[in-house]
Amino acid sequence: MPVVFVHDALETSIVWEPLREVLGRESLALALPGFGAEPPFGFNATKENYASWLEAELTAIDGPIDLVGHGWGAVLGLRLVTARQTTMRSWAVDVANVFHPDYIWHRTARIWQTPGAGEEALARVRADDPDGARRGAARLELLGFPAATARAMAAAHNRTMSQCILSLYRSAKPNVRADWRIENAGGTIPPGLVLHAAADPIGNGPMSDDVASELGATKARLDDLGHCWMVEDPVCVGHILERFWAAL
């Protein structure tokens, strides 16, 4: 029974390495198309197409899956469990507040959603320019990522990643719930865990709690951890996940 990890935008799948080592379970860290992995030919990087891509990836994996999603990986996972037939035994996500009907995108996302301003902002942090790579790594470090991890992810930020970020965020206006509604009802949503990292500037505790209640999910607060909780304290998070899975 594998654990499948899905990362956030502006990041790559290497964010999961410390947590995967701690868990010691069979696991797979998927790379979103355009984020350290070339997108399929003709891939249109909208939220709906990313959800369909993730659905196909999970369907190809043998056995029930325990999904762990972070950032956009979390949002895409929530789309599947609320609107698609899945092979998931369980799911665990952060930033569930982004899936709230009243969510307002954070300032950086709103810049990316603005034609011209988004292109300019991402061009300043791309790896095709040495200064851009340094700025990109510094930005990731501000979110709490270790320097080596930040540099590696910043080095993967090419024009394709920028284009995918812009397309993804622009497909989610005013927010994802504007056209993503909960369609699976009557107890068909698998057991879930909503993680709230208390120091994550993108998170919102009350909104995350609302989504957890809406989906009948368990809640866990990650005190003193931020956006990169999976590398900040993988041992703590690993214990929380293992307790959740053991109770299923």
Q: Is residue 140 part of a domain?
A: no
Q: Is residue 96 part of a domain?
A: yes
Please, how many CA atoms are within 13 Å of residue 49, restricted to the half-sphere of its CB?
16
Q: Is residue 195 part of a domain?
A: yes
Q: Is residue 35 part of a domain?
A: yes
Q: Is residue 160 part of a domain?
A: no
Rounded to whole angstroms, the Cα distance separating 115 from 214 reads 34
Compute the chain's Rg from CA coordinates: 17
Q: Is residue 224 part of a domain?
A: yes
Q: What is the strand order of the sheet 88-93 is part of? A: 27-30, 3-6, 65-69, 88-93, 192-197, 218-222
What does each C-alpha distance from 137 to 130, 146, 157 come to in angstroms? 11, 10, 10
Burial (CB count within 10 angstroms: exposed 0-12, middle 13-18, buried 19+), residue 8: buried
Rounded to whole angstroms, the Cα distance separating 187 from 232 reads 34
H or E element that contains 237:
helix 234-246
Nearest alpha carbon to residue 180 among 52, 90, 44: 52
Q: What is the pLDDT tens value at each position of the chain, 248 positions in all?
A: 899 999 999 999 999 999 999 998 999 999 999 998 999 889 999 999 999 999 999 999 988 999 999 999 999 999 999 997 778 999 999 999 999 999 999 999 999 999 999 999 999 988 887 788 788 888 888 888 888 888 888 888 999 999 999 999 999 999 999 999 888 765 689 999 999 999 999 999 999 999 999 999 999 999 999 999 999 999 999 999 999 999 99
Burial (CB count within 10 angstroms: exposed 0-12, middle 13-18, buried 19+), residue 218: middle
pLDDT of 216: 93
Domain span at 11 = 3-105+179-246
What domain count does the chain have?
Answer: 1
Burial (CB count within 10 angstroms: exposed 0-12, middle 13-18, buried 19+), residue 37: middle
The first and second tokens of residue 76, run together, are 């895409």
Give 144's DSSP letter: T
Are residues 3 and 22 in contact, defined by beta-carbon separation less than 8 angstroms? Answer: no
pLDDT of 187: 65
What does each C-alpha distance from 114 to 107, 174, 200 come to in angstroms? 11, 12, 24
Q: Is residue 229 part of a domain?
A: yes
Q: Is residue 130 part of a domain?
A: no
Are residues 61 and 41 in contact, defined by beta-carbon separation less than 8 angstroms? Answer: no
**Beta strands 27-30 and 3-6, pairing class:** parallel
What are residue 184's phi and psi, to 5 degrees? -85, 110
Rounded to whole angstroms, the Cα distance separating 235 from 230 reads 9
What CATH number should be reported for the domain holding residue 203?
3.40.50.1820
pLDDT of 185: 61
